[in-house]
């Protein structure tokens, strides 16, 4: 059976549209009427302080948590009540804060299983997966896209350095050729060199899929994002370009402070109270 193709958005329509998402955990309102649109092909960053509700929103979009209210559409299709599997088949994929790979399997077998799961195959499960040339070729192309060295293919995935494990997880998330990719802190636990390599990897995939990036590394966020939404206490307080977010007094007060990265080519920041406009 062939894999179902992800849905394509209609002209001018957001590839993902969330409206009024609400999630309560007892007395805690983790998502307070969150609305968010992702344009086709953009890298959209979601930032905010710890406890703002960023991971909750990722769970609501992915279907691993059920919203108490609100709606979700992907490429115009209502998926508000869809399961995780149904959302994945509609083109939604994600990575995790904690690396989620098959630790005891080789790097190549991780890639082959991911490709097999999403591309479909008619071969007997007991026949070696590498006997299917098309799957092997696709796995190797996926590795190349994610800068995974072929010399690592025989290694057990769990023995790789942390940065290489994160690249492998990124490749597994891309195996489904997603319409929307949710990236939940892909730089978590990385050193400066690994963060730079992951940033370059994401930059190199710009335009091939729509990405929602949750990340605390502000240098990476301001380099990568086409637009940024700022989440504070379960509410989005601003959405705009990196330059607009950088210049927003409300955002600096709530989260960024005065130490946020400068935006290359942007006008210098106005002094506080010097006529700044909210996003």
Task: Give 100-143 pLDDT, tens digit per residue.
Answer: 788 999 999 999 988 887 765 544 444 454 557 888 889 999 99
Q: Looking at the predicted structure, is the pLDDT value of residue 27 above 80?
A: yes
Give the distance, in angstroms, between the CA of residue 181 and the centroid of all CA atoms in the same chain.
Answer: 4
Q: Looking at the predicted structure, is the pLDDT value of residue 153 above 60?
A: yes
Q: Could you tell me whether strands 28-38 and 77-78 are parallel, antiparallel, or unpaired per DSSP bridges?
A: unpaired
Do 255 and 183 belong to one domain?
Answer: yes
Q: Name the band, by pLDDT with cuts 50, 70 and 90, for residue 262.
A: low
Do 183 and 272 belong to one domain?
Answer: yes
Residue 52 Rama label (left phi>0; alpha psi -120 to 50; beta): alpha
Helix/strand/coil (H, E, C) string of 187-239? Answer: CCCCCHHHHHHHHHHHHHCECCEEEEEECCCHHHHHHHCCEEEEEECCEEEEE
In the chain, the N- to C-terminal Cα span, in Å, equals: 47
Q: Looking at the predicted structure, is the pLDDT value of residue 256 above 60?
A: yes
pLDDT: which is higher, 232 or 268 = 232
Domain that holds residue 160: 101-176
Q: Distance of CA 69 to CAs 29, 49, 82, 229, 262, Å?
A: 12, 24, 14, 20, 37
Task: Give 190-246 pLDDT, tens digit per residue.
Answer: 888 889 989 999 998 898 899 999 998 999 999 999 999 999 999 999 999 999 999
Do 182 and 279 belong to one domain?
Answer: yes
Q: Name the band, by pLDDT with cuts 50, 70 and 90, for residue 2.
A: very low
Residue 156 domain flag: yes
Do 84 and 195 belong to one domain?
Answer: yes
The H or E element spanning position 142 is: helix 133-145
pLDDT of the residue at 119: 66
Specify the number of domains making up the chain. Answer: 2
Query: For the domain that residue 45 is a member of, what is the CATH number?
Result: 3.40.50.300
pLDDT of the residue at 255: 81
pLDDT of the residue at 128: 52
Domain end among 148, 176, 204? 176
Residue 82 domain flag: yes
Do 62 and 188 belong to one domain?
Answer: yes
Do 26 and 42 belong to one domain?
Answer: yes
Residue 58 domain flag: yes
Task: Give 82-98 pLDDT, tens digit per residue.
Answer: 999 999 889 999 877 55
Do 35 and 64 belong to one domain?
Answer: yes
Do 182 and 79 belong to one domain?
Answer: yes
Do 196 and 275 belong to one domain?
Answer: yes
Question: Which tokens hold the place of 269?
Answer: 């920041």
CB count in 10 Å sphere of residue 85: 9
Do 214 and 132 belong to one domain?
Answer: no
Task: Give 44-74 pLDDT, tens digit per residue.
Answer: 999 999 999 999 999 999 999 999 999 999 9
pTM of the model: 0.81
Do 206 and 274 belong to one domain?
Answer: yes
Domain end among 176, 203, 232? 176
Task: Give 9-26 pLDDT, tens digit per residue.
Answer: 455 689 999 999 999 999
Q: Looking at the predicted structure, is the pLDDT value of residue 278 above 90?
A: no
Residue 249 domain flag: yes
- Name residue 231's beta-bridge partners: 236
Task: Give 187-205 pLDDT, tens digit per residue.
Answer: 888 888 889 989 999 998 8
Residue 188 domain flag: yes
Domain end among 129, 148, 176? 176
pLDDT of the residue at 45: 97
How far apart are alpha carbons 96 and 184 in whole angstroms?
A: 5
Residue 96 domain flag: no
Do 61 and 198 belong to one domain?
Answer: yes
Residue 121 domain flag: yes
Residue 141 domain flag: yes
- 249: exposed, middle or buried (C-beta count within 10 Å: 0-12, 13-18, 19+)? middle
């Amino acid at each position: 059976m062939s894999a179902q193709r992800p849905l394509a958005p209609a002209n001018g329509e957001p590839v993902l549209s969330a409206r009024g998402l609400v999630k309560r955990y007892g007395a805690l309102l983790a998502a307070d009427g969150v609305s968010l649109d992702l344009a086709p092909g953009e890298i959209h960053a979601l930032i905010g302080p710890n406890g703002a509700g960023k991971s909750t929103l990722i769970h609501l979009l992915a279907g691993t948590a059920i919203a108490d209210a609100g709606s979700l559409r992907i490429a115009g299709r209502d998926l508000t009540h869809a399961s995780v599997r149904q959302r994945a088949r509609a083109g939604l994929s994600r990575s995790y804060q904690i690396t989620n790979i098959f630790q005891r399997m080789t790097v190549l077998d991780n890639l082959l299983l991911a490709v097999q799961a999403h591309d479909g195959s008619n071969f007997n499960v007991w026949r070696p997966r590498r006997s299917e040339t098309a799957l092997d070729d696709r796995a190797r192309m996926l590795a190349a896209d994610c800068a995974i060295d072929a010399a690592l293919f025989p290694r057990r995935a769990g023995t790789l350095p942390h940065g290489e494990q994160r690249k492998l997880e990124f490749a597994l998330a891309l195996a489904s050729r997603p319409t929307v990719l949710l990236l939940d802190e892909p730089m978590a636990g990385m050193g400066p060199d690994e963060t730079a390599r992951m940033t370059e990897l994401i930059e190199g995939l710009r335009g091939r899929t729509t990405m929602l990036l949750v990340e605390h590394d502000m240098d990476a966020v301001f380099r990568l994002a086409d637009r940024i939404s700022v989440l504070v206490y379960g509410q989005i307080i601003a959405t705009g370009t990196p330059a607009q977010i950088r210049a927003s007094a409300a955002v600096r007060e709530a989260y960024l402070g005065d130490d946020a990265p400068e935006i290359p080519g942007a006008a210098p920041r106005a002094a506080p109270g010097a006529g700044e406009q909210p996003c």
